Amino acid sequence: MVIKCIVSYDGTNYKGWQIQPGLKTVQQEIEDALALIHGGGRIEITASGRTDAQVHAIGQVFHFETMKEMEMDKWKYKLNRLLPKDIRIREVVLEKDDFHARFSCVSKRYDYYISLDDENPFVRNYMCVEKRKLDTDAMKEAAMVFVGTHDFTSFTSSKIHEEKSRVRTISECSVHVFDDHIQLIFRGDGFLRYQVRMMAQTIIETGLHHLEVKDVKRMLDACDKHACRYKAAACGLYLVEVNY
């Protein structure tokens, strides 16, 4: 049977989601817990996508296959008892056999947080800190450049295989201003590696008047992996929601 889990985690102390030999990762912690529940042997999990080192998640989704019969609430209880406190299983659901956490996904939401309080030591692992004055109206204009269906070659890692499509549809890219922080919301049918962090820092650079909106559009239209040299700090990024 196929089991889907929704998991939240604080990425501060992890080298990302994906298993890497000799490094502490979120996937490794969960698979170790599942192995204990199953009495040994690896139980492989598949996520909706990877998150980088120090990136957080509120609603990451993964699935695994098992022959072990157990109530969904008991799966949740046992996993949370075995997992470290900075990884929490929020929901466990029995899915159809053809469900796939990655390939069944139709859209995702990421949020990026910018703290405006440079004197607060407690946000540095959870927000990008920017003490310089930001022009939020310019940021909002820059964000709108990304909305729609575009080739995002300029806003992704150069390591992506040349045959993989860089075309994605962004349904929301918005800027929300609060007294002590700014929240960027990105919704789309999918995101390339580093895409959200690169878009986020480009929006920030526009707010600092290092770029104009026309520069952002020029970068996007260039479809050139060298066009954007910006990438926001990982700690401000959250995978909020995965939709199926």
Positions marked active-site: 52
CA trace torsion 90, 93, 96, 97 (10° rounding): 70
Task: Return d(Cα 178, Cα 95) in angstroms, integer.
Answer: 39
Task: Return d(Cα 93, Cα 132) in angstroms, integer.
Answer: 45
The torsion angles phi and psi of 93, rounded to 5 degrees, stand at -135, 135
- The answer to whether 46 and 3 are in contact (CB under 8 A) is no
- Residue 142: left if φ>0, alpha if ψ -120 to 50, beta else—which one? alpha
Per-residue b or e along 195-216, where b marks 16 or more CB atoms closer than 10 Å to that residue's CB? bbbbbbbbbbbbbeeebebebb
**Count of beta carbons in the 10 Å neighbourhood of residue 92:** 21
